[in-house]
Structure 1
Amino acid sequence: MENIIDVKGLSFAYNTDLILKDVSFQLYKGDRAVLLGPNGGGKTTLIKLLLGIEDGFRGTIKVFNQNPGGSPNLIGYVPQHHQIKPIFPIRVSDVILMGATKKQIKNKKELIDQLDYVLDILEIKDLRQYMFSELSGGQRQRVLVGRALMGNPKLLFLDEPTSNVDPNMTACFYKILAKLPKDITILVVSHDLSVLSHNINRVFGVNQTMNIQNSAKLTPEMLDHLYGMNCHHLSIKDETIVPTPCEPSL
C-alpha cells in the first residue's frame, strides 16, 4: 500500500497546554478514514499540522514523503469555517474555480473540463450560475468540496463537513463523496459517529493521544478512549451505531 501520510511520535502544545501527545499513524492511498474525537481533543489541530498551518511540534510528519506544506497541489482542504460570507456576490462556478491550479488557469480547456467534472460528480451542475448566497447549507458544503477538488488532489481533508447540515442532507452528502475516484485518499474530521455508516474503512480516534481501528465498528476500547465509557452507551438503530450521551452531556 502506498503511504500518503506518515506521522511518528507527534506531540504539540499551545504554550503549556498539551494538545497532542505521542501520536503515530499512517494513512494509505485510497483510504476512506475518519478522525473522531471530542471537542478540544486535538482533531483540527492535527489537520493544521498535517497541512503545515501550525508548526513547532515534536516528532515527524511526512505527507507524500515531504514535510507539511510541501505538496499543496496534491491536497484539497475544506475547513470547518469557510471564509466566504453568504452575502458576498459570487457565483457557484467562481467559488469552485478558486481552487484551480496555475497550470489549469493557463490551459482553458483543462480548466473548463475539470470544472464540468467537479460540477457533475457533486451533482450541482444545475447550480453553476446560482449565487453562493442563494444556496442551502448542504449545497454550500458541496460547492466548497468542489473548490477543494478543482485542483485534482490526491488527498482530501474535510473538517466537520456536515456540522451545519440536517441528517437527511448528511446522508446525501456522504453518498456523493462515495462517488469520488478510489485513488483519492479522504480523511473526514468529525465528532459525529453517524459518519461511520458511510464507507469508512479506518478510524483514528484522537483525544490528546491516538487510538486506531481498521474497521468502522467501534470497540469499547475506542469509545472509552474518546469519551469515557461512564459517559456514553450505545444503542442500535437500523443497524447503525448511535451514540447516546448520558448526563452530564459532553
Structure 2
Amino acid sequence: MGADVAIIDYGMGNLRSVSKAFEHVAPMASVVVTADPEVILGAARVVFPGQGAAPDCMREIEARGLREVITQAARSKPFLGICMGQQVLFEHSEEGDTPCLGILPGRVLRFPAEAMHDDKGQRLKVPHMGWNEVHQTSEHPMWAGIPNGARFYFVHSYYVEAGEPDLVAGFTLYPFAFTSAVARDNIFAVQFHPEKSQSAGLTLLANFVMWDGKVKPTACSADACL
C-alpha cells in the first residue's frame, strides 16, 4: 500500500513545513518526503514543492534522475505544485534562461522593474513578499471552502505567463494581474505557499488530500466565483 501523499524531495523545498501542514490537516493520512521514484509513483497523491532559483531547481531534478518521475506523476495522479514547483512545470524561465519541464504550456517571467509602481506611484519591492489576495477565475474542488479574494503568502521575483488562458485558475495583483494558480486535469499548482498561509492555505491542502484529480475546472459564470 503506497503513501497517501508523497512530497518530492529534490533538495529545493521547504519540505518540513509542507509535510507538517499536511500532517495537521490530515492526521490519519500517511505523508512521506521522498526522492525514491517507486515511492513517488506508488503514492495516491504527489506534491511538488520548491523554493530558490530555477537553474538550481532544474539541475537538482536532473541530477537526482527525477524528471521522468515528476512528468509521469503529473500525468497520472492528483498533483500539487507549490511556488518553484509551479514555475518549472512550464516550458521556460527567464531566471537564468532556463529550459523547464514543459508539462504545461507557457513561460516564467521576472517582474518588470519599469512596471513596479502602485496606483499612487510608490515603487513596489521585488521580490513580491507577503500576503496578497488570490482571485479565483474557475470553479475547482481545490477552491472548496476558500472565499474568492482570500489572502495567501507569497515570496517570489518571477511569475507564470500561461500559454493558454484556460490554464489560469487564479490571479493576483502586483501591481498588474499575474497568474497565481493554474489547473489542468489532475494538476493544480500555485505560486503562493499554502503551508504558510494559515486557514486558507490549510483548507487548500485539506482539499488536495480529498481531491480525486478527475474533476476538470470550468469557467466561472458572472456570479460563480464572487
- TM-score for both structures, normalised by structure 2: 0.31
Larger radius of gyration: 1
